[in-house]
Every structure is written in C-alpha cells, then in structure tokens.
C-alpha cells in the first residue's frame, strides 16, 4: 500500500481523535472527514504496520448527519483546527457521547450512558447595544494560537502536520478575538501569535512567540484593528500597548504602537461573581460559558459543606478554590496546588481576600504527600524567630488532623496518573470531582481509583469545543 492510494470504504464507528474506523482487506483504517455509516472514497495519508490513516475525499453514500462545512478552510488536507465541521451540531454531540462511552467501557470497565450537553455561547453586544449572534457551534474560542510562516503570514496547522493552512478568519473564534485582526496582518520574524480576548470584560492581549537563537530578529508588529496589548513572554519586561496615539503632525493614528513601557500582561476574566487575573498565555477555559458551567458542575458533584477541608489540584489561577472557599466558610480550609510560577502568582492575587485559602506550588504528587491538614494553633515564636511557615494556615507545616473531605482535580490532557490518584484516594474522605478534557486519560484514572475503593457516582459531559473532537467531562466519585 502506498500513501495517496485511493480506497473505497464502508465507514464504521467513531474513534477517539476526530476520525471514524473502517477496514480495508482486514486492515484498520482511521478515516477523517467521514461519518459512521457512510461509503467513501478515501486517500491514504499515512501507513503503519498496524493501521492506515486516510482522508475521505469523495462521499459515495452520505449520512443524514452530514452537512456542508461552514468554514472554507475545512476539508481533506486543509486546516486541522476542527474535526467535525461536516457533521451537524446534534450529530457532533452524539459522536462525542459515543467516544466517552467507549473509552469508559474499554479502559475502565464502566458501562454508562453518556449525554454530551450543549453549552450556549453568551450573546455579545456591540458598543451600540446591537447583539452579535454566532451560528450554533461557531464564535466560541476566546484564545487562538496561530502559526506563522516564513513570510509572516498567519494560519493554523494542518492535521498531523507542521504545514500551515493560511487563513484570513476563523469561524470558531470568538467575535472579540476576530476583531483583533491577527489573521489579516503579517507578523514577520515571529514563530507564533496568540490572540486572547476576555468575553466578559473585553480585555485583549496578543502574545508573540519568537524563534530561539542568536540570529533571531525582533518581530515586526503590524497595526491591528483595535487597541490591544502586545506581549513577548521571553522578554517579559517589554510590552507594547497598541492604542490610539498621535503622529508627529499631531493627528491621531489609531492602532499605532506607543513607545515601549511596562504594562502588566494579563486579561481579567469574569466567573462565579468574581474577577480573575490571567497573565499572558496562562490557562483559562476558551469557551465563554465554560468557567460558569464547570464551576456549577463541580459544586453539584462535591456538595461542599460548611467547615470542610477541600483540595483543588492543578488549580491554575484559583477558580475552583475561590468558589470552594465561599462554600466551606470561615471554619473551612481550601488548599490549591499548582506547578506554574505565573499561575501561582495569579491565584494568590485572585484569592488574597480569602483567609481560608492556601496556594501551594509544586508537583501535585509531591505537595499533597507533604500536606498536613487542619489548622494548627500558632506557636509563640521565640524572640527574634520567624513563625513556622504555614503553621496557622493548615498547609505544609501545620498539624495533621484529618485528610481532606473533598477534592477537585483538573489535570492537563495527560491526566493525573497512578501516583497522584493513589495520594488523592488515600487523603480524601468524602467526595472527589475529576474535571477532564480527555476521556481516555479520564477512563484510565477512573480505573486506578476503582482499585483503591472509589466508584464513579455521576458523569456529565459538555460540548465546550464545538466542531472539534474535544469534550469536557466532570466525574464525581465516592467510596465504594
């Protein structure tokens, strides 16, 4: 079999990763741009000893769930940012439900019906109060990372490739992101450009990644369509605010860079009745309704009680920790654990008004192994001595009273892993909420929990990434 060969295939079930599964002469074929039940002619794009990959280039018998892709850059061999533009929104959610169900059954031995819930994008309004409504499944992504070509042109990577599909707009990008106009400019000497907008506050940020090496040249920053702050993470002391200024003749020049000066590189996000500072490319959910949706799902799963001790693992900028702190009250305690330096700084800033929250930095498995839960009586320091770090806050250095009552974890796509699961399972007394963006690693970790006496109580799934293969799940666990 050679790459680029054409195969006629009867398409089978959906697979995890934005493709469907077919067979050709007994060999497994992973087919993109197809739907279950279709007959397609597919071009082979990759061959291994165990399977083939292929793109459906001709639909011989179409599924009733098929539609014309709304994006002109979608299709075989083109932009890899979306996986299911050729399926109706309802069909996409059914496909994702099937993926989650299959991963749970195959990897965790759990048989569970799964319903992926639609999450609407909040309506955006213009300065004149006119609504900007996006069609279903479009206009939701508030953070978009663009690749930059040698000539400065901007686009998105093709599927399983470093090649760039050059674009002048992205339909799944939030209208506020598109207003920046990154795709309509040249970014010479940049390696990547990320456009960020807060749907709640309207804050905008552009983060530039530059090539590494001695011979690199500074990025030529173009004039953009709206005021925005330009950030170069490798030179954090230098930011370029783009806002209306004055030319030498005294006339305003909208969008012209002002002289460089220090500007704090963050956006303010709104969720759960609070403002959240998120610096640069720091993690925040990209769907405008995701933070509120997940907070509600996690609180429904954990049912926090006054006076409880809670862990928020992989806490990022402190979203769940902040809400938990309010739920457990002054007599309770919340400990957030995060690895990233800037995320820890943001979390501490965001939660500085909550005395019952402690943010710890380090690898989750290391930090929770060293945690000593409960609030200790502060010892009187000897004259000239400093109080023992954490003695009054109940984190590392406090006195052990009991384990955490509840734990929420929101790990990266790679999941928590067995070592972290083991620590959580031993140190949590009542309930665990697991937030996951990958059903495979979620299922793997649920299996680890099951061998340690924890069982799946509830599972909810949310379509926070329409037109892509990604799905967000919230699982609650109790002791069996």
Rg of the Cα trace of the chain?
25
Q: Which one, of 353, 296, 355, lies nearest residue 328 by Cα? A: 355
CA distance 272 to 142: 18
How many C-beta neighbours within 10 Å does residue 382 have? 7
Bridge partner residues of 338 (DSSP):
361
Q: Which residues contact 130 (CB under 8 A, 6 or more apart)?
A: none
163: exposed, middle or buried (Cβ count in 10 Å: 0-12, 13-18, 19+): middle
Please give the share of the chain, as a percent, with pLDDT higher than 70.
86
Phi, psi of 369 (to 5 degrees): -70, -25
Catalytic residue among 20, 82, 170, 437: 437
CA distance 71 to 77: 14
**DSSP-H helix ranges across 104-218:** 175-178
* Residues of the chain scoring pLDDT < 70: 1-2, 214, 233-264, 373-402
* Phi-psi map region of 417: left, alpha, beta (phi>0 left; psi -120 to 50 alpha): left
Q: Which residues contact 211 (CB under 8 A, 6 or more apart)?
A: 189, 191
pLDDT at residue 242, rounded to an integer? 58
Which tens digit of pLDDT belongs to each residue from 173-192?
A: 999 999 999 999 999 999 99
* Phi-psi map region of 246: left, alpha, beta (phi>0 left; psi -120 to 50 alpha): beta
CA distance 200 to 144: 17
pLDDT at residue 127, rounded to an integer? 73
Active site residue 437: yes
424: exposed, middle or buried (Cβ count in 10 Å: 0-12, 13-18, 19+): buried
pLDDT at residue 264, rounded to an integer? 54
pLDDT at residue 376, rounded to an integer? 43
pLDDT at residue 403, rounded to an integer? 84
How many C-beta neighbours within 10 Å does residue 7 have? 19
Q: Which one, of 23, 44, 24, 50, lies nearest residue 32 by Cα? A: 44
CA distance 366 to 165: 42
């Amino acid at each position: 079999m050679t790459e680029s060969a054409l195969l006629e295939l009867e398409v089978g079930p959906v697979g995890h990763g934005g493709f469907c599964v077919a067979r050709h002469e007994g060999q497994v074929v992973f087919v993109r741009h197809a739907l279950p039940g279709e007959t397609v002619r597919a071009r082979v794009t990759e061959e291994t000893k165990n399977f083939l990959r292929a793109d459906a280039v001709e639909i011989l018998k179409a599924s009733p769930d098929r539609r014309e892709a709304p994006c002109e850059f979608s299709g075989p061999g083109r932009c890899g940012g979306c996986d299911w533009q050729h399926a109706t929104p309802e069909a996409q959610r059914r496909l994702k439900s099937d993926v989650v169900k299959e991963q749970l059954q195959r990897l965790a031995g759990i048989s569970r019906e799964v319903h992926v819930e639609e999450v609407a994008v909040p309506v955006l309004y213009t300065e004149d109060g006119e609504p900007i409504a996006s069609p279903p499944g479009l206009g939701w992504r508030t953070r978009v990372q663009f690749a930059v070509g040698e000539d400065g042109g901007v686009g998105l990577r093709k599927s399983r490739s470093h090649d760039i599909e050059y674009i002048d707009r992205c339909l799944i990008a939030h209208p506020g992101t598109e207003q920046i106009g990154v795709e309509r400019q040249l970014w010479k000497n940049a390696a990547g450009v990320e456009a960020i907008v807060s749907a709640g506050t309207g804050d905008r940020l552009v983060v530039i990644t530059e090539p590494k090496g001695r011979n690199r040249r500074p990025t030529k920053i173009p004039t953009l369509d709206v005021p925005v702050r330009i950030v170069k993470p490798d030179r954090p002391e230098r930011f370029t605010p783009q806002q209306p200024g004055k030319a030498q003749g005294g006339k305003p020049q909208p969008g012209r860079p002002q002289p460089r000066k220090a500007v704090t590189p963050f956006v303010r996000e709104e969720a759960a009745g609070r403002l959240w500072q998120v610096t640069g490319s720091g993690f925040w959910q990209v769907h405008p309704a995701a933070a509120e949706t997940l907070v509600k799902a996690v609180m429904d799963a954990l049912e926090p009680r006054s006076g409880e001790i809670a862990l928020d693992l992989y806490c990022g900028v402190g979203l769940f920790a902040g809400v938990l702190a309010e739920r457990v009250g002054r007599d309770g305690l919340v400990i957030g654990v995060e690895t990233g330096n800037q995320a820890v700084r943001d979390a501490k800033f965001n939660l500085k008004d909550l005395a019952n929250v402690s943010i710890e930095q380090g690898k989750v498995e290391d930090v929770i192994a060293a945690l000593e839960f409960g609030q200790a009586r502060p010892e009187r320091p000897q004259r000239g001595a400093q109080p023992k770090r954490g003695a009054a806050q109940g984190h590392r250095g406090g006195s052990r009273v009991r384990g955490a009552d509840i734990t929420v974890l929101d790990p990266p796509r790679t999941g928590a892993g067995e070592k972290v699961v083991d620590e959580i399972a031993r140190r949590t007394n009542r309930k665990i909420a697991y937030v996951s963006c990958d059903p495979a690693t979620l299922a793997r970790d649920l299996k680890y929990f099951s061998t340690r006496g924890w069982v799946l109580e509830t599972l909810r799934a949310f379509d926070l990434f329409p037109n892509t293969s990604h799905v967000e799940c919230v699982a609650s666990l109790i002791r069996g």
